Amino acid sequence: MTKKHKAIALISGGLDSLLAVRVLQEQGIEVEGINFYTGFCVEGHTHAIRNHDKDKQKRNNALWAAEQLGIKLHIVDVIEEYKDVLLNPKHGYGANMNPCLDCKVFMVSKAVEWVKENRKDGFDFIITGEVIGQRPMSQRKETMPIISEESGADDILLRPLCAKNLPATKPELEGWVDREKLYDFSGRNRKPQMALAEKFGFKDYASPAGGCCFLTDKNYSAKLVDLWEGRGSREYEMDDIMLLKVGRHLRPKPEFKLIIARDAGESKYLEGYRKQFVTIQVVSHNGPLTIIDGDITSDDYELAAGIVARYGQGRDAEQVEIEISVPGQEKLTMTTKPLSIDEVLEDWHV
Amino acid sequence: MSTHELDARRMLCPMPVIKTQNKIKELADGDILDVICTDPGALSDIPAWARINGHEVVGHRENDDELIISVRVSR
């Protein structure tokens, strides 16, 4: 009996990786999936915070894709290792803070590591849903060999959706996979993928604009850069990158910014940070919980309180009562006049 | 066969799933893992992960703002 060959597939949860796996399954290849969690993935956690997102279907797209495909999925936490990719990308950034090419090299190299660590499971090669010309930075004809080489995957990296546009890889040369039954997709046109999805009967697949990473998002990237500038350092922790997804961010002074909840869901989420941050809340009226990221001195309490009051129901009151809570200290109450709309300067908004 | 507990409070998905996956690697067939979480997203993600990987969610209960999801390990 001939050996059944086995591939590990990078699964983002998007359509391309879904199709790449199914194309190989059609050829009798056994596939398992691997998904890397960098902390910047556009997934479940953001759904859970804001109230108005609560009705959206809460699903992790990578898990959903694996279930559609009937494959196992290994989710790997790469938050710590990813910092170096984001902070020191050899190939630079894309339009925003997205180090797409370094990220792809990193993920494929992690898959290579996985194959070596799980030698007993007998994975023969790695597949991705990459398509030449699909993404401006990482998925270009010139970048495909860079990813293969720098990741150390070399000829065991197969891209089933555009393989016919690339030199044959080991799985094709060895006859494990029939190259003729692979595809030659290229460019940003999604129609060939949509037609293939239809053929395979995939519905409700995820197709987030800009891919599945917050770093391709302009607003998110601006907040990340502001965080680094505010601190004078590019260090970050998981809590920092989560907090960039929550609330409105205003920086009235270089030393600190306010993160103001936009609804009850976000207020509840920020409650969890009370022990780590100075928090401000209007107590005489309904209002959002606000946390202060950075160094605030008592000289600036009035300013911060006036801003917070602006975003509560007491915004038109003459005076509102505010509670300021500094971790490890007695709560402080003060009265303040909410700032007017013109006093909250446009360039405070991050 | 034994029952274990995993504290995934304040973690946002997919972290509770990753922690569950890693903890289950250490457990034996038939063991029960109670995952305590606060992200409601875990209620769809942990069962999906269990279905894919051949384990079974045997129940869940809610306690104030906490959610306890029980997974039976299958080897």
pLDDT tens per residue, range B38-69: 888 899 999 999 999 999 999 999 988 899 99
More confident residue, A164 or A57: A164
| DSSP class of A243 | H
To the nearest whole Å, the CA of A305 is away from the closest chain B CA by: 27
Note the pLDDT of residue A54.
55
Mean pLDDT of A55-61: 69
Mean pLDDT of A142-166: 96
* Contact indicator for A13, B13 with CB cutoff of 8 Å: no
Note the pLDDT of residue A210.
55
| DSSP class of A4 | P
Query: Which domains can be identified in chain A, with CATH numbers?
Result: 6-214 (3.40.50.620), 246-348 (no CATH)
Mean pLDDT of A109-118: 95
Quick check: helix, strand or coil at residue A204? coil
Note the pLDDT of residue A158.
98
Note the pLDDT of residue B63.
85
Note the pLDDT of residue A22.
98
* Contact indicator for A134, A190 with CB cutoff of 8 Å: no
Residues in chain B whose Cβ is within 8 Å of chain A:
10, 12-15, 17-18, 21, 39-41, 44-45, 48-49, 51-53
Lowest model confidence (mean pLDDT) among A136-145, A157-166, A218-227, B34-43: A136-145
**What mean pLDDT, rounded, does chain A reach?**
91
At residue A42 the predicted structure's pLDDT band, cuts being 50, 70 and 90, is confident
Query: Which domains can be identified in chain B, with CATH numbers?
Result: 3-72 (3.30.110.40)
> What percentage of residues in chain A have a pLDDT greater than 90?
74
Cα(B19)–Cα(B34) distance, integer angstroms: 12
pLDDT tens per residue, range A233-278: 998 988 898 899 889 999 999 999 999 999 888 898 898 899 999 9
Note the pLDDT of residue A133.
87
pLDDT at A55 exceeding the cut of 80 = no
Note the pLDDT of residue A206.
79
Cis peptide before A99 (omega within 30 of 0): no
Of B40, B48, B51, the CB nearest to A60: B48
pLDDT at A46 exceeding the cut of 70 = no
Strands A278-282 vs A320-325: parallel, antiparallel or unpaired: antiparallel
pLDDT at A18 exceeding the cut of 80 = yes
Secondary structure of chain B as H, E, C letters: CCEEEEEECCCCCCHHHHHHHHHHCCCCCCCEEEEEECCCCHHHHHHHHHHHHCCEEEEEEEECCEEEEEEECCC
Contacts of A276 (CB under 8 A, 6+ apart): A239, A327
pLDDT tens per residue, range A70-100: 999 999 999 999 999 999 999 999 988 999 9
Q: Nearest residue on chain B to A69, judged by CA atoms?
A: B52
Of B13, B48, B51, the CB nearest to A48: B13
Quick check: helix, strand or coil at residue A120? helix
* Contact indicator for B60, B46 with CB cutoff of 8 Å: no
Of A58, A72, A242, the CB nearest to B53: A72
pLDDT tens per residue, range B16-31: 999 999 999 999 999 9
